[in-house]
Structure 1
Amino acid sequence: MKFSVISSTLPMALSVSIPRAIPTGSWLISIESRYPLYLFDIIQANNGGFWYNKAPSSNCPDEVEGLDCSKYPGTQTAFIEGSVNGTVSLDVAVPGGQQVYVAPDGALSYTTPHSAALPEGAITTGFHRYRSETFGAPIMLSFAGKSIVACPSPESKDVYQIYVGGTNGQNCSWVNVYAETSSSDAYEFTA
């Protein structure tokens, strides 16, 4: 009897103790909010910020000599871990890439193409992808232990900007942030 109890619990113990790796490569970010807003969708890069329910501002400049824009038809906002631990960049082809950062007002933001310039007080490190062992073990994204929120845009009641930490905005909703493996074929995003 003791042998059957041990043998029946051993597979369960082994499955719990074996950590599953976080996938490498690029990924999308989707948000989920249940109260007071009901949101669930992929966020998009648009004019320097990240948005729920707003089209991406992907771009491939036709005027660049030798650049074949047919290779970069993508509009999907994908991310990749930066070369420095705790950093994140957009998964784009533009030389120099586009760094993701938290602006002084808390807005999740990204740099303009061909520029590493950041506003004074911007924070670039603190991003962390991890596997949550609840609800099917999804890959989550966090930033330095701060909450991530979606705040309504003044331009439309259905558009929300993504912020890190508290904001002075009204009607913001705390969101879960999921990192889903994907790829991108976008050249750059305007900022």
Structure 2
Amino acid sequence: MKSTIIASSLFSLLPAIMALPAPALAQEAEVSNNFVGISARSASPIHLLPVVTHNSAFWLGGETYSYCPTQVEPNCPPGNTTVFAGGDEYLGLGVLVPGGQSVYIAQDGSMTHTTAHSAYYPPGAVRDGWTRTEGENFGHLSHEAGLVACPVEGGYKIFAQIPTFVAPNEDCLGFSFLTGNVTEQVGAWQY
């Protein structure tokens, strides 16, 4: 009951948190249905943690790392929240950087993203397989291989259980990737 109230409270606040002024850049990101993520696994250390990106990987909990060039800095989004775009077979990030940033599963199973200004995917990368569904109070994002969070140095890192995935330890936990819509199209210049 308590976790249901907390989850409802968190998701009801997401639109207010993301209702920040839009950046005044000439080229806005042309994405729709952008969202943030939060994990759900009752009675576990990963329950109700935000999904964030830093060092090109995705984690449960911690801080989002983003970058904004000095020449556009006054017009950059806050960059303190990881915003996703898409989720219908392919997944990206809600960013302003030209070319955007795509999310993929690396050969080791880690959920990661492309660097800014690059469409390069390493050998063995899995780009597709994402599904996002809407619910009455929140949505759900999944990958066809299934997602787990494994405790590694730095926190709980997100992996997909693709055939080449080898768990870094025996403490990986499956979780539900809940989503909440955001009112702003982007979360950062780039992650």
Partner of 1:175: 175
Q: Shift in Å at residue 45 of structure 1? A: 0.9
- Asked if 2 retains the 8 angstrom alpha-carbon contact of 1:88 and 1:127, the reply is yes
Partner of 1:128: 131
- Percentage identity across aligned positions? 28
Change (3 A) 1:38 1:109: closer
1:47 is aligned to 2:38: no
Q: Shift in Å at residue 147 of structure 1? A: 1.9
- Asked if 1 retains the 8 angstrom alpha-carbon contact of 2:35 and 2:179, the reply is yes
Q: Shift in Å at residue 50 of structure 1? A: 0.4
Partner of 1:78: 83
Q: Could you list the per-position Cα deviations for residues 158-181 of structure 1 after superposition, in whole angstroms to 9, with x for gaps in the alignment?
A: x10011115322201010111110
Q: Secondary structure at the match of 1:80?
A: strand
Taking the aligned partners of 2:103 and 2:91, their CA distance within structure 1 comes to 6
Q: Shift in Å at residue 34 of structure 1? A: 2.4
1:103 is aligned to 2:106: yes
Partner of 1:147: 146
- Asked if 2 retains the 8 angstrom alpha-carbon contact of 1:37 and 1:173, the reply is no
Aligned partner letter, 1:179? T
- Asked if 1 retains the 8 angstrom alpha-carbon contact of 2:68 and 2:76, the reply is no
Which of 105, 117, 121 is residue 114 of structure 1 equivalent to?
117
Partner of 2:188: 186
Q: How much is the aligned-residue C-alpha RMSD, in angstroms? A: 2.0
Q: Secondary structure at the match of 1:40?
A: coil
- Aligned runs of 1:30-69 on 2, under 5 Å? 30-34=38-42, 37-62=45-70, 64=71, 67-69=72-74
Q: Could you list the per-position Cα deviations for residues 112-144 of structure 1 after superposition, in whole angstroms to 9, with x for gaps in the alignment?
A: 011111110101111001246xxx663111112
Q: Secondary structure at the match of 2:64?
A: coil
Taking the aligned partners of 1:42 and 1:178, their CA distance within structure 2 comes to 9
Q: What is the TM-score normalised by the length of structure 2?
A: 0.73
Q: Shift in Å at residue 33 of structure 1? A: 1.5
Taking the aligned partners of 1:149 and 1:52, their CA distance within structure 2 comes to 10
Aligned partner letter, 1:167? V
- Asked if 2 retains the 8 angstrom alpha-carbon contact of 1:72 and 1:185, the reply is yes
Taking the aligned partners of 1:143 and 1:81, their CA distance within structure 2 comes to 13
| Structure with the higher fraction of residues in strand conformation | 1
Higher Rg of the two aligned structures = 1
Q: Shift in Å at residue 57 of structure 1? A: 1.1
